[in-house]
Amino acid sequence: MHLAFAPRSILYALVLVVATYLLYVTFVIDHSLESLPHSAPPSQQEIFPEVSSEEWACRADQVKQGFKHAYHSYEKYAAPYDELLPITHGKINNFNGWGVTAFDSLDTMLIMDLQHEFERALGIVARANFSVSSDRAFVPYFETVIRYLGGLLGAYALSHEKLLLDRADELAMILDGVFDSASGLPFYGVNPASGKPEGSELGILAEMATLQLEYTYLAKLTGKKDYFNHANNVMRTLYSADLHETGGMLPVIWNLTSGTPVDTHLSVGSQADSTHEYLLKQYLLTGQTDKASLEMYVQATTFIITHLLFISPKRHLLYVTDTIGSTYKEAGTSMHTFEHLSCFLPGLLALGAHLLPLDNLASLGVDILNLRGRDGAYGHASKGYRQLASWNLKKVHLWAAEGLAQTCYLTYADQASGLGADEMVFGKWSGSKAQAKDHSYDESYSWIRAMETWRQSGSRGPPPGVGDKAPIVHTEAEAMSGWTKRDYVMKKWSYLLRPETVESLFILWRVTGDVKWRHRGWKIFEAIERETKTPSGYGSPRSVGRSPAPLDDNMPSYFLAETLKYLYLLFNDEELIPLDRWVFNTEAHPFPVFEWTEHEKTMFNL
């Protein structure tokens, strides 16, 4: 039959077939990772020049000079206010008005051997009045703990300066009213004068469960049982929570009266990050004795590895994301956003792989299929636990760490400014509800699935997502013109002087000894110097896609507490703060690993 004479319905049918085929080619074949291990882009190692140990020492010194520039500017224009406004030479009280930059910087000064700055900062610490002005009725608990209390304790650990411990003890007592909930989990804030707690019955995971390291160390130093109990109560509450709905992962929102989770939104980045971090670090701080923390860490990382790690379509970049939804089914739906905040994860995984017998957890009495005595029964997630149980966990954690750290670094190296954006979206993700319900995308790009295919193929190449990749540099205009070869688009363009990526580079350098992590850190420091330095401090680039980058007028205290500290430690050859003897709190304040004495065990009912 000649086509021209075909009935209209046959023509429609043909058009339909062709259109379906085109859609299939665009959305299904393009998404399929069946051939992922074989089609992985070849490893494209960046070539870095030989650098002598004298040169690394000189680089460490340049970071120290950068710190001096930032802190001297703070002293000149802002102290004893909280933070410096580095463009207008101004000052701001945005964290209680007690001089947060001075408190947060104390132990960085000690590590960098800046004795004069330390002595001057002690004056600010001594004079700080732990109250609030009448226009602010309360202090935010989480930030006060990680920056002020953590800063005092880290500096005490390194100096044994009595004033620091006295003030830490005084501050913790002033904050104590925050625990006045039925569950004993802390409220959002507290009025330091009246002790009255502030905030709703609903708590955010990171804000209510990031105190264990600070309070446990403070209990060790003071012998006070109350501090121990606060930390212990948080850990026991997390441990006894029913997490079937979320596959064993701690969700973001909790009820402070009942001490139970109330949603299924899962995050590795904002609102959750430091709680996952403290599961491992609490175990390490207490001389590897708190088995409940270890089990929770294995559980959280198992869920993350099997449900929240994905690999991008063309460059095969490994990334970690969050989920949306209010039921478990939806909770399995990934958003494919990737936050700068999540870039602490590669460092954490590398630290755990380095210090834990992950390839022989049985030696510690831990069974991945029977975590918390629950027989691995985590609904839809159980398959993931069984899947991971068949792998060498030490290797998998280290591979994930290397792949994620490589991606975190590339999100800097890909930009015109050489700095990393605060948030990106990976893949062909539209963010629409319809796509959220389409699980085929998640299945196609799941890292653990790609790993299974890689294992079955017997490939000798690196696992999917692991191995070096070349940067693809785009200007802001290019990056805004739609989907690019980079596999991701920007969601938040700013670089807020954050530490997470250099933190992970530092840990990977210490753990693997591979100098590429140091070189990458140096490139980032060069970009910080080039793009963010002002005559009076360092500003925060509004768009990483531009060079020179337009700057916002703020210099967060964590830039001195964390970003510059980790960069200094990365370049310094002296192995200061060995990872097996010190644990960094989430604001990079180092606490020494310890063991409980028999007397303490009796006192704390251990």
Residues in contact with ligand DMJ by CB under 6 A are: 146, 273-274, 341, 498-499, 558, 586-587
Cα separation of 585 and 284, whole Å? 11
Smallest separation (angstroms) from ligand DMJ to the CB of 143: 7
Nearer to ligand DMJ, 476 or 587 (CB): 587
Smallest separation (angstroms) from ligand DMJ to the CB of 517: 19
Nearer to ligand DMJ, 281 or 498 (CB): 498
Three-state SS at 195: coil
Smallest separation (angstroms) from ligand DMJ to the CB of 146: 6
Nearer to ligand DMJ, 494 or 586 (CB): 586
Nearer to ligand DMJ, 339 or 476 (CB): 339
Smallest separation (angstroms) from ligand DMJ to the CB of 294: 21
3-state helix, strand, coil in the chain (%, to 5): 55, 10, 35
Smallest separation (angstroms) from ligand DMJ to the CB of 286: 20
Cα separation of 344 and 347, whole Å? 6
Residue, CB closest to ligand DMJ: 586
Q: Is 514 exposed, middle or buried (0-12, 13-18, 19+ CB in 10 A)?
A: exposed
Instruction: List Cα–Cα distances, 216 to 188, 222, 585, 594, in angstroms.
Output: 20, 10, 12, 10
Smallest separation (angstroms) from ligand DMJ to the CB of 281: 12
Smallest separation (angstroms) from ligand DMJ to the CB of 604: 26
Residues 6 or more apart whose Cβ sits within 8 Å of residue 279: 293, 294, 296, 297, 300
Cα separation of 468 and 595, whole Å? 40
Nearer to ligand DMJ, 306 or 337 (CB): 337
**What is the identity of the amino acid at 224?**
K
Nearer to ligand DMJ, 142 or 509 (CB): 142
Residues 6 or more apart whose Cβ sits within 8 Å of residue 350: 397, 398, 401, 402, 405, 504, 507, 508, 511, 512
Measured in whole angstroms, the distance separating CA 259 from the mean position of its chain's CA atoms is: 24
Closest CA to 405 of 570, 275, 292: 570
Smallest separation (angstroms) from ligand DMJ to the CB of 388: 27
Nearer to ligand DMJ, 422 or 487 (CB): 422
Phi, psi of 496 (to 5 degrees): -95, 30
Smallest separation (angstroms) from ligand DMJ to the CB of 550: 20
The region, left, alpha or beta by phi > 0 then psi within -120 to 50, assigned to residue 296 is: alpha
SS (H, E, C) 416-450: CCCCCCCEEEECCCCCCHHHHHCHHHHHHHEHHHH
**What is the identity of the amino acid at 176?**
D
Is residue 380 within 8 A of residue 332, CB to CB? The reply is yes
Nearer to ligand DMJ, 96 or 444 (CB): 96
Nearer to ligand DMJ, 107 or 587 (CB): 587
Nearer to ligand DMJ, 341 or 348 (CB): 341
Is residue 317 within 8 A of residue 245, CB to CB? The reply is no
Residue entry with tokens 């310890």: 594
Smallest separation (angstroms) from ligand DMJ to the CB of 423: 12
